[in-house]
Structure 1
């Protein structure tokens, strides 16, 4: 059995700006952009903002641990930003905010290939939580 949460996960797949090294990207995104975005995320009641860092070092370590992955394609995206929201309107409001338009959006162009972004949206179903299989009563409790 799996839980079905009442929230949406918006995933933004990012590529670093051409000419930017992996090290420069790894510094700028969490150290500069993350703190810039965080107050806006909080202001509009977005439940969670997460940055997934998928460096070449981590990819190589994973392929060593799971050799069959070497035969598969690695996603062409450098990183993933995820937002957990109660509804789509919160994302819209945050993107319409003058702070987003004047500060956040221009900052994205400093480190990201803004034309190379892909996205996905959906809800989450949890089968294992805290290392334990989700019970039937937990699953019904979270169902929409």
Structure 2
């Protein structure tokens, strides 16, 4: 398995609450309903920022993290190249997130503590 973490940035004209509402209630179900999601995506999680912080730490510039699991990089490439992703998911992403400011990070998990 390979995991893609998308470090999310909301559109500047949306409040955090508007951004979360759209991401959770509109985008999540839309993403899950796509044929390409059902074919290639093994797991999709939205991580919403809590606003909590530890003293002396730097606050993140990101508004959340999307985690998407694929069997391998070939599955990720096929998903992002699919017509349903391009025609349905991208236009919705543009409705609530600043795609140019988001960062993508592909990783393999190494579990240290069960």
TM-score by length of 1: 0.73
CA distance in 2, matches of 1:88, 1:119: 13
Instruction: Describe the SS at the equivalent of 1:128.
Output: coil
Larger Rg: 1
Alignment partner, residue 105 of structure 2: 120
Q: Aligned to 2:38, which of 34, 39, 42?
A: 42
Give the root-mean-square deviation of aligned CA atoms: 1.2
Per-residue deviation, 1:42:
1.5
Alignment partner, residue 140 of structure 1: none
List gaps (5 residues or longer) in structure 2. Answer: none
- Report the number of matched residues: 112
Moved over 3 A (4+): none
CA distance in 2, matches of 1:94, 1:123: 18
Per-residue deviation, 1:86:
1.4
Higher helix share: 1
List gaps (5 residues or longer) in structure 1. Answer: 1-6, 64-68, 130-144
